[in-house]
Amino acid sequence: MKKVIFSLLALLMLPLFSFSQILDPVKWDFKVEQTSPEEATLLLIAKIDKHWHLYSQDVPQGGPNGAPIPTSFSFTKSQSYERVGKVQEQKPILENDPNFDMVLKFFADKAVFKQKIKILGQKDFVLKGVLNFMCCDDKQCLPPNDVEFEFAIKGNPNAVAPVSTASAAASPTVAQQDSLKNVALVTAKADSAAKKIEQTKLGETDADKAADQSLLWFFLISFLAGLAAIITPCVFPMIPMTVTFFMHDTTSKRKARLEAIVYGLSIVVIYTVIGTLVAVTLGANFANFLSTHWIPNVFFFLIFMVFAASFLGMFEITLPSWIVNKADKQADKGGYSGAFFMAFTLVLVSFSCTGPIVGAILVKSAGGALLMPIIGMLGFSLAFALPFGLFAFFPSWLSGLPKSGGWLNAVKVVLGFLELALGLKFLSIADQTYHWHILDREVYLAFWIVIFFLMGMYLIGKLKFNHDSDLPFISVPRIIMAIVVFSFVVYMVPGMWGAPLKALSGYLPPATYQDFDLNAIVQKEVGAINAGGGGVQPANALCDKPKYAEFLKLPHGLDGYFDYKQALACAKKENKPIFIDFTGHGCVNCREMEANVWSDPKVLKRMRENYIVTALYVDDKTELPESEWVTSKYDKKVKKTIGKIFADLQITRFNVNSQPYYVLLDTSGNLLTSPKAYDLNIDAFVKFLDTGSENFKKQQ
């Protein structure tokens, strides 16, 4: 009896406690700065709760765990004004986001967005619009949210032609805004200064440290690429030639070594300047275009294929001879200026070998922060210049260098195979973004398996190009490399039948992009057999075909619904409770629960046998027919997409807007037990399912 009383009390008190779970971590404020009759600046200010962050307008797509929705702004068109440029934002934080496992740009504490407008009409008017944003903390993300805004704008008395009454809405009085026109900017600057002072006292913030780690990691990768460039046929033979040139003056070794230092530093400066030019001309605002649009991705794919063909010996990529000859003449003058031009000559002469490597670094960095191209080129050039400086100081080391020969060409060919493999990533991004389905997961894997198999055959001497020298025997380092490459091929082969290949998750298309997944088929058959279906039909056979099943899937071979009303109708027909999973495409914690908790046999068995499984995606952008639109009881707005309808359902029914969120309902839509959020404890989840099932049986 006590248990029954406590259960009833818990159910009665649940709305009271769960109401506090409504999360609203971002508050918006809108102000106008109108410094002249002809133009004004609109300020859209976001105040962000502690531990939460708001994403930038510039968010790359196609990450290993999806990507967040960027902040975006839509302004109602009017003859009364004209936008000047795009919405500008303050400098964001660059950090690896654990929710999506990728480096992203976002704002903490406060974000200020500015839109300049040119005022075309003489009458006062109200400028309206809608902004869309998404926010996350370290453990969860909220579904995208729309916020309507409006600005009262004073007319321009100097306008040539007045705007008609029909085109300008009536406006409230805005005289009081004159005294506040600079308050927003002053406040933003004061907050920024205060934050800098606080960071100076306390040291670097966690975001600063994470950004530094990301740049450091990219620096190390670029440094290793610079070391790889040294052992190419275009560069390696230049080391003894260059060092000998600097050491020919035996009368002044000090001067020769100073010139060698200038030579090495010149290499660093030249490459870093290249990186700086890329950063300035492209910059962070170009990142989203590079990351998602098919034109740059297909272009980069073709560039990589051309470089790969050059490395494999199909042709040589060379700069015009007059450029090299002109730089070489300047180098002949000697002195420190001669050292600089000799470095410039090296950069030009080695272009056919270093071009693909440098290009790969610039392509990778152009989609990142402003510092990425500069840091990348700095790391590459430091490694590239390192041997010239060392051998200039220690010329006796030259005798220990291996002689030039066929091994240099082998390095070039191996780099060519790597260029082929890595270039496919760009085509894959375009393929996934635009749903071409020309490079599905198994097709992508087939290419990689063949490419690395041919690389292994080349390393053991079974594949030879026309510019290769004879290979009388295989060296120990070469056979070790071949073993590593063939082992990698063997590791990839099961992926053709659905193996997850977690080590390559950042490079391969997602598992849902695979046509034939043996693992999913086996899971479904095993589930059917365990449920007593004899392998003919799964235990949670559905009443009818699920809506949206063409593009929404359940993991582990589960069958279920993606629409609440359809699931409720089936639950009544089958007299079974409903398991609702409020989830999202970009919800990393949802994927963790599915991979670590749902996959457990005890959990899968209960879900298949005891429940009508339903996944409601709160961030899906698919727009429904007008007959299915819903007017929210919570914010009175019309919800037109799948995601907004189910996000509103979660808020209005359960007073929660975070995912994952699991709810167990009876056939009338009533709660069977307290809902459950993110929790990787399998036993706790099993108990959650068992409690709901037992309470449902008690109702019968």
Mean pLDDT, residues 364-373 taken together: 58
**Strongest mean pLDDT among 181-185, 303-307, 672-676:** 672-676
Q: CA Rg, the chain, in Å?
A: 31
- Rounded to 10 degrees, the C-alpha dihedral 88/93/96/102 comes to 10
Q: What is the pLDDT of residue 3?
A: 42
Q: CB within 8 A of 159, min separation 6: which ones?
A: 119, 120, 121, 122
Q: What is the pLDDT of residue 536?
A: 39
Cβ-based burial of 134 (10 A; exposed 0-12, middle 13-18, buried ≥19): buried
User: Above 50 in pLDDT, residue 639?
Assistant: yes
Q: What is the pLDDT of residue 221?
A: 80
User: Above 80 in pLDDT, residue 187?
Assistant: no
Measure the CA–CA gap between 243 and 375, rounded to whole angstroms.
27
Q: What CATH homologous superfamily does 26-203 map to?
A: Thiol:disulfide interchange protein DsbD, N-terminal domain (2.60.40.1250)
Q: What is the pLDDT of residue 338?
A: 62
Q: What is the pLDDT of residue 89?
A: 92
Q: What is the pLDDT of residue 565?
A: 92
**Strongest mean pLDDT among 368-377, 477-486, 622-631:** 477-486
Q: What is the pLDDT of residue 520?
A: 58
Task: Locate the domains of the chain by residue range.
Answer: 26-203, 210-401, 405-516, 538-699
What is the dihedral sign for C-alpha 627, 633, 635, 641?
Answer: negative
User: Above 60 in pLDDT, residue 367?
Assistant: no
CATH topology of 26-203 equal to that of 538-699? no
Give the model's confidence band at 162: pLDDT under 50 very low, under 70 low, under 90 confident, else very high. Answer: very low
Q: Which residue has the higher pLDDT, 528 or 23?
A: 23
Q: Are the C-beta atoms of residues 61 and 433 closer than 8 Å to each other?
A: yes
Both tokens of 414, joined, read: 């191996």
What is the second-level CATH architecture of the domain 538-699? 3-Layer(aba) Sandwich (3.40)
Mean pLDDT, residues 503-528 taken together: 62
User: Above 70 in pLDDT, residue 286?
Assistant: no
Q: What is the pLDDT of residue 159?
A: 75
What's the whole-number average pLDDT of the chain? 74
Mean pLDDT, residues 507-529 taken together: 61
Mean pLDDT, residues 480-493 taken together: 94
Q: CB within 8 A of 607, min separation 6: which ones?
A: 540, 558, 579, 598, 613, 689
